[in-house]
Amino acid sequence: MSKQQEQPEYIEQDDDVIDVGNAIVSWETWEYPPHERSRQWYIIVSVIGIALLVFTIITANYLFALIILMTGIIVLINAMRHPDRLEVHITDSGIVLGDAFYEYKAIKEFALVYEPPIVKTLYIDFNSVLRPMISIPLEDIDPNLVRESLLPYVFENLDREDETLTDMLRRLYKI
């Protein structure tokens, strides 16, 4: 759903009010994709985790065992938590994603990967190597509208045609 008006022009970030400009395109998306995991999924993942733990104990690789245990705990905690809905605003000053604001001068490029109904994603890559690329699901927003609103401010990467490996693995294995 695209909203052209009624967007807040300011957000609060760390007790400061930041002018984020006028919204050009807005929509809502999930914080991360909610997955419906069956009982069978949990059984398979548990069996794989236990097999890996046994292997690490046999080979005396206790650091890897600790990593497997931490991963299992993180997956379990995330499974109990329901993702929030985030507002996305493309403004004339930058991109607002929930409570975060990304100025255009910090953004290196954007790419749209659109292969409906499964993949509809906006990728934002930053100038800083310390800031990872973010992926924003487009949901039902028109990708052409998003593209047209970003082109005056940011370079478009036309070479990216597929979703990232990380996003593909998250989607396929429901993690």
User: Given this structure, which CATH class describes domain 10-33+84-173?
Assistant: mainly beta
What are the tens digits of pLDDT across the range 101-121? 999 999 999 999 998 888 899
| Residue 5 in this model has a pLDDT that exceeds 50 | no
Per-domain residue ranges of the chain? 10-33+84-173, 39-80
Q: How confident is the model at residue 61 (pLDDT cuts 50, 70, 90)?
A: very high
Q: Mean pLDDT throughout 141-157?
A: 93
3-state secondary structure the chain: CCCCCCCCCEEEECCEEEECCCEEEEEEEECCCCCCCCHHHHHHHHHHHHHHHHHHHHCCCHHHHHHHHHHHHHHHHHHHCCCCEEEEEEECCEEEECCEEEEHHHEEEEEEEEECCCEEEEEEEECCCCCCCEEEECCCCCHHHHHHHHCCCCEECCCCCCCCHHHHHHHHHCC
**Predicted TM-score of the model (pTM):** 0.76
d(CA 93, CA 2): 18
Confidence of residue 9 (pLDDT cuts 50, 70, 90): low
pLDDT at 81 over 90: no
Question: Per-residue pLDDT averaged across 131-140, rounded?
Answer: 91
